[in-house]
Amino acid sequence: MSYKHLYVVMAIALGLWLANTAPASAYIGPGAGITMLGALWGVIMAVVIALGAVVWWPVRALRRKIARRGADPSVGTEANTGAKP
């Protein structure tokens, strides 16, 4: 038997098994739904804040670098390195 036939047999067996299951008779109250939405909101906000921090980091570093150059004009020149003329 080839693998193609094996996959077909496995798919048929899975289909028959799923067709034989009984429906669940369960009730989920509104409190569980609100709790799930609250947890989902927390996960979504954590991902958004993490991505925002990753995007904001280079912008913040560039702003600090520009601010330092504006405050001290000798940054990056020979006057600050101690080189003799």
Three-class secondary structure of residue 24 per DSSP: coil
Amino acid (one-letter) located at 51: L
pLDDT exceeds 60 at position 18: yes
Calpha distance 13→5 (Å, rounded)? 12
Give residue 30's pLDDT. 82
Give residue 70's pLDDT. 73
pTM: 0.45
pLDDT exceeds 90 at position 49: yes
- DSSP structural state of residue 77: S
Calpha distance 83→62 (Å, rounded)? 27
Calpha distance 42→37 (Å, rounded)? 9
Over range 12-17, report the average pLDDT. 92
Calpha distance 18→59 (Å, rounded)? 53
